[in-house]
Every structure is written in C-alpha cells, then in structure tokens.
Amino acid sequence: MSANATISQNPLLIGKGLPPFADVKPEHIVPAMTQLLAELDSELSNLEPKVTPTWSGLVEPLQQLVERLSWSWGIVNHLTGVKNSPELREAHETVQPQVVQFWNKLGQSQPLYKAFKALRDSDAWESLESAQQRIVEAAIREAELSGVGLEGEKCDRFNAIQLELAELATNFSNHVLDATKAFSLTLTTKEEVDGLPPSLLALAAQTARDAGEENATPENGPWRITLDFPSYGPFMQHSTQRDLREKLYKALISRASSGELDNTPIIDRILQLRQEKANLLGYNSYAELSLASKMAPNVEAVEALLEELRQASYDAAVKELEELKAFAASKNAPEASDFKHWDVGFWAERQREEKFAFSAEELRPYFPLPQVLDGLFGLVKRLFNATVTPADNQAPVWHPDVRYFQIADETGNPIAYFYLDPYSRPAEKRGGAWMDDCIGRAKIAEDGKPTTRLPVAYLVCNQTPPVDDKPSLMTFGEVETLFHEFGHGLQHMLTKVDYAGAAGINNVEWDAVELASQFMENWCYDRPTLMGMARHYETGEPLPEHYYQKLLAAKNYMSGSAMLRQLHFSLVDIELHHRYRPGGNETAADVRNRLAKTTTVLPPLPEDSFLCAFGHIFAGGYAAGYYSYKWAEVLSADAFAAFEEVGLDDEEAVADTGLRYRDTVLSLGGSKPPMEVFKAFRGREPSTVALLRHSGLATTASDAA
C-alpha cells in the first residue's frame, strides 16, 4: 500500500505528543509535509484578515500554527541527524524548499507584523508579563530580519536566497557525513597497531566485523580505523606509527574538499548569499545581521573579548608546544626536530602520562556509562532537588540503544522527560553532540481544560559504544561532553515559563545559550560528583585518590593551546562574515591562513581544508556566532565561581546556591534578557576573572573585567 493511500494514518500528521518513531518511514515524509503545508497555508490565509492585536487573537493562534509545522518537520530533521539514509535524504530534499517557502511567507506577513507592532503600542502592553513582551519583541525583530520590510524584486530575491541557503546547508552537512564515512584504514599487522590501547583494538575489530571481516578479533585483527572520533582520537594519541598518524590526520583535515563532495564552492556561495541577504536588510555585513539578535552589542565587543583571551592564551600555547618538542627530544624521537600536527596528540599524551603519571585510557574502566549517568543524576538531585529515573518503555525510539528518562520535582511529580542517544554510529548519525527540543513546555488547553505540557529533550552524543560484552567505557572527555549536553537539556527541562515562545532555550540569545551547558562541565572535577560516579566496572572499586589528584593537576594541561584553538575558530568565523567578500583577492582559506598567524602555533598545512568540514558555521546555527562558546564561558565560569565562593564542601550552601541557579538561569528561560537573568543569580555583571583562573591562565593575563 502506498503512503499516499494511507494519508489519514500518516504518523507525521498526528501533530502532538511524543513522535511515533517506530511508525515513521521515509515514504511518509513527502505526502505528510505536502498535506500539512497546504493546510497551514490556508489557515494562515484565514488568520491574516481577522487577526487582532491581542495575545489571544494573535500570539496564541500563530503559536498553534507554528507548532504543528515544528512538530512534523522537527521529526524529519531529527531523523536526518541520527538515522540518515539515501531514502530519508531524498524525501528531505524534496520537501525542504516548500518548508522554507512557508517560513518565508509567515515571516513576511504584513498583517501579522502590523498586529505585533500594534500590540506593542497598545494600552494592553503594560499588563503583559515580561515573557510575553519578550515574545512579541522577538516576533517583530524576527519579521524584520525575515524581510517583512522588503517589496517587489528585493523580496523575491530575499526568498530565493533563503531557499538556496537551506539547500546549501543540507548539502554541506551530507558531504561531511559522506566524506567521513568514505575513509577507513584497515590494519592487518601487529606492527601497524603498535601502541594502541585494548579499548581501541576492540572497537577497531568490531568496526571491521561490521564492515564484513567476520573473523576480526581484538587480538589478531584485522582492525578498521575510521575518522569517527571514538576511533580517530585514541589512534592519534597512541599509535607509534608516525606515517599512519600522518595519513589519518591528512584524511581528517581534507574531508569534503575534493571531488563530488567538495564543499569549497558551497562555502563561497553561502558567504556570498549571506552577505547579499545582510545588504538587502540594511546591514553592512552578515556578522552585523547575526548580532542584531544576540547578547553581544556589536562586532567590536566580540573581537575585544576574543583579543583579550587571545593575549592571555597565545604565549602559553607557544610555551606548551616548545615543552612538547623538548619532551619528544628527551625521548630521542626523530620527529622532535621536525614536529608536525600529527605528532601533537601523540606526544601530548606521552607527556601527560609522564607528568601526571596516568593515561586517559587508564581511567576508562572507571567510567562505564550507567554509572556516569548515576553520578550525573545524583548531581541534579543535589543541586536542583530534581530526581531522574528511567522511563524506557514509555516512548517509541529510533534505535535500540536510545534510552528515555523522566525528571520529577521534590514532590515526585513529573516535570520533564528526555531521550538519550549516547553512542557513535558513523554510517547514519552525524558527528559531534547536541541537545534539541522535542516538545517545549507550555500552558495549553486539552479538551477545554488548561493543562501544562511538559518539556521533552533530545540528548545526542557520539561516545564509544559498548564493545563485545563490556558497557560503554567512557573517556573523561566523553564524560564532560555528556555533562555539557545535559546542561542544555536542564535549561530546556527545568523551565518554569508557561509561554512556549520563551520557555527553556526558546528566545534565549544565542551567545548566552552555552552558559547552562558549560556550567555543568565544571562539576566533572567536583570531588563528590566525580568520586560518586567513578567506580571500576568489573570490581566496583572506587577511583583511587591518586587518580583524582592527577585529574585535577592535569585539568589545565595544554589549556593555552585548547583556548587558542577555540579563538582561532571564532575569529575566522567573524572575519569571514564581517570583512571578507567572496570573489576578491583572498579566498576563504586565505583568510583562515592569515588569521592562523596569530591564532595557531603550528600553522595549518597547505592541504588543510578544515573549513570544508566546519559544520557549526556552514550547516548549523553558529554563523558569525562561534564566539558564543567563549562569550558564554565567561558567564558559566563566573556562575560556577558562585559555588566555589560559598564552599563546595558546604552541602547546605551548595544546595541553596543550586536552587538560586535553578530559579534564575534554568527556570527563567527566554522570559528576561540574559544579562538580567545572570545578575539575578550572581548579583552583578559577569567578569573574565573566573574563566582565566579556571583555565590556569590568570597569571599570564591582567585581571581585567
């Protein structure tokens, strides 16, 4: 039976509740979205002539209309990220232009725009709550940034740009996924896998079996190494075979930069279209357009912060590299005199092992995923008085490894739910880690009765999967990533705002949104949190004290290099979207290489095409916004400092501070400007002092606020 014949049973048209993942097939997408968009189009046409400038006559009906589209299209987008396939791609590409066209039409609706402005100017304005006012103000700004003021040819051109940009972003992302998947290294001799830890040998053998090598074993191979991070990262840290490290490194940095998957022309086209879009809306650059809806007041303020941090980290990074070369020389390594990018990870890991007497691999057995989750949930209870429990059979999932959990308040009432999709699946799931909104909190009417719809989050990681009969044994870095994404999740789930447009992460300025996630990472080093979850998966033995001390000691190892790397990405992003003009004397790669002179200590190789895989800014939401990680890290470090100031071992004070953080940062969502929210928690504006201190860079920089 064709999907068309069963349109009434199409799972993508239910429009509310948990997504029925078990029932959704790629062939449902085109008929469902075609029908839904036609219905919404007609609803919009009916709403426009009779819209009234009141909350119930404007915002509520519009919210319902938007949510129906977000529900169905959100499922499609989610599946493209976690269960990508040729059939899904084709369906997505078929309907994406219609979805973009509908959003354009909605954003450019003159009757709705005029009604929002009339509401803002009306007597009723003062009686609206701050969350409602922020939603109205955001809607007006959004309409203006969506081209509501454009007419005739300019409007047509703007819409054509929006359409093309959406298509380019999808193609960019698919190229990176395909290029990552296309490369693998099959190793067959003991010499080729020299130095590799047992956990990687087991993963590489399992990957080889999945690729058809039926008899692959961790002991005898063959072993398959991929560009997927759980494979690539440990290989670069531990392989003694310099030529293989070079091969793998060059494969990673040249992803999606040649042949059919070449993203170079896509990058130029995206930057060209973004600049044209900004000009149409009256901005000098796309960076100015991007900042119009962010916390940072202007490009100068962003660059001033990045420059302050660059000065604090550059000399430290230079010194770190010199120390690394000297260390390699002390071990009589031939590469010490000709140190290359593929040597950094390997020698940094050897130096760390010697300096702090432990390796990242030694800690893995102490961090099995189930225990790490127990530790994370214990922290949520301790700080926010909320209880997390499994609710696995209560929701359909898209893969057998996906878990489902409930969060309850102090009285035991459910307040939120979340999915956790923890493991890497390079064949169908994009890399990285992210949190996304499945269902947002809102006051709604159900069968005529008012009720609170509870939020549901997607938490997606790409950590080491369980291998053979062992659970997922996590690196400490993977533990930090999980805590980071859970921080985003908490802001979505612990919100107290009842208006969908400002609940959770909605309407939170983009450069403040990483506050809640980066804040959680600090707790990975907190003694009760870490010791509460770190137990050997076989013996149950707690993490020995000396390891905890070493972890603390190693916390700021190479921190100058780590910060400089983030600043390199942030400054390249801003430069490409502010001063760079495609088609001039410089290419995008030239811009990156020019900035690399002051933001890297090992200049990029000639074949380094990192930009071709920089999905954050070319296929994600971070265009002219990558600086947000650093901007928000100033806030998150300062927020964590509030706990340090009351004493991390004073349980009562930690709990009180945790509840204050919950009632401000986590619960107010987008109902107030982020600076107001921060000041409500901290009692003052943020300062960079805590960030530089936490990074071990405070001594090399002035304590400028």
Tokens of 596: 């690399």
Contact 218, 200 (CB under 8 A): no
Q: Rounded CA gap, 241 and 342, in Å?
A: 10
Helix (H, G, I), strand (E, B) or coil at 607: coil
Q: How far is CA 69 from CA 103, 364, 446, 454, 611, in A?
A: 10, 43, 19, 19, 32
Query: Tokens representing 309?
Result: 């941090």
Which residue(s) pair with 542 in the sheet?
A: 535
Around Cβ 218, how many Cβ atoms within 10 Å?
Answer: 19
- Sorted by sequence, the CB contacts under 8 Å of residue 78 that are 6+ apart come out as 19, 398, 436, 438, 458
Instruction: Count CA atoms closer than 13 A to 654's CA, side-chain side.
Output: 17
Distances (CA, A) of 76 to 114, 248, 539, 562: 32, 33, 43, 35
Does residue 578 contact residue 625 with C-beta atoms inside 8 Å? Answer: no
Q: How far apart (Å, rounded) are the C-alpha atoms in residues 195 and 240?
A: 6
Report the SS3 class of residue 368: strand
Give the integer Cα–Cα distance in Å for 580 and 587: 9
**Pairing of the two strands 414-423 and 403-408:** antiparallel
Q: SS3 string of 223-273? A: EEEECCHHHHHHHHHHCCCHHHHHHHHHHHHCCCCCHHHCCHHHHHHHHHH
Provide the 8-state DSSP code for 551: H
Catalytically annotated residues: 485
Of 297, 373, 326, which Cα lies nearest the Cα of 631? 297
Q: How far apart are CA 419 and CA 176, in angstroms?
A: 25
CA distance 699 to 109: 54
Q: How many CB atoms lie within 10 A of CB 695?
A: 22
Amino acid at 230: P
How many CA atoms lie less than 13 Å away from 447 in the CB half-sphere? 0
b/e sequence 285-320, b meaning 16+ C-beta within 10 Å: bbbbbbbebbbbeebeebbebbebbbebbbebbeeb
Q: How many CB atoms lie within 10 A of CB 338?
A: 9
Q: What are phi and psi of 170, to 5 degrees?
A: -65, -45
Tell me if 166 sits within 8 A of 179, measured CB to CB: no
Q: What is the number of residues in the chain?
A: 705
679 touches 691 (CB < 8 A): no
Element (H, E) at 511: none
Rounded CA-CA distance 512/293 in Å is 11
**Dihedrals phi, psi of 195, to nearest 5 degrees:** 90, -15
The percent helix, strand, coil of the chain (3-state, each to 5) is 60, 10, 30
